[in-house]
Amino acid sequence: MATPLFPAWTDRIRPLVAVVLLGAPLYAIGMLYYGGTPGAYRVGYAPEQPVPFSHATHAGKLGLDCRYCHTTVETAAAAAIPPTATCMNCHTQLLADSAKLAPVVESDRTGEPIPWIRVHDVPDYVYFDHSAHVSRGVSCVSCHGRIDRMERVSQVEPLSMAWCLDCHRNPEEHLRPAELVTSLGWQPEGSPHELGQQIREQNNINPSTDCSTCHR
């Protein structure tokens, strides 16, 4: 009789070896996904900015319209980060000597842009058009939350493919009159779904769920 290649006790650990061999790749993939995912893809991501800009003060207390700073949100794919000149429209006279505004004043003096850190981001292989949504009555609040209450901007939605598809398949809850898209605290008098259904029918809104819509 031929001598066994492995000792008899190895038969007892074969199930464990199989579990390790099958589980290790899954564990490694999971660690790479959660450990390597950029912060901008996570709900709750709220980086510290080079200037402590408060949306709660500007958009909330002072009531500045989102479009005053994000000037292209209705006409282009990107919402546009305001140039320093927009800040200085007010701050040449208001709090110009504040230490918090020193980077803004320096940017205005040198022409160097402020290195803002992007909070809401999608992968490079995803195409998203702000104007296509805003012009059809999707409010800023649907994606960005009550940004008018935030001292520091944080991400409140996952911005995942499943999350986007849920809205494309059932957009009614997110539709409102286009002139109210930047009124973040607005609530309809009746059913949001019924109003959304009316707007969808009136404007013939039928969001695509085809892959090529976002992956171009």
pLDDT tens per residue, range 138-160:
999 999 999 999 999 999 999 99
Cα separation, 77 vs 62, whole angstroms: 27
Looking at 9-160, list the stretches that DSSP marks H as alpha helix, in order from N- to C-terminal side. Answer: 10-36, 55, 66-69, 84-91, 102-110, 130-134, 140-144
CA distance 149 to 9: 65
CA atoms of 172 and 194, how far apart (whole Å): 8
> Percent of the chain, pLDDT > 90?
76
pLDDT value for 65: 96
pLDDT band at 16 (very low <50, low <70, confident <90, very high): confident
- With tokens 């842009």, the residue in question is 113
Q: What does pTM read for this prediction?
A: 0.78
Residue 11 predicted with pLDDT over 80? no
Using the predicted structure, report yes or no on whether residue 32 has a pLDDT greater than 70: no
Q: Work out the pLDDT band at 31, boundaries 50, 70, 90.
A: low
Q: What angle do CA 60, 108, 88 make, to 5 degrees?
A: 35
Name the CA radius of gyration of the chain, rounded: 25
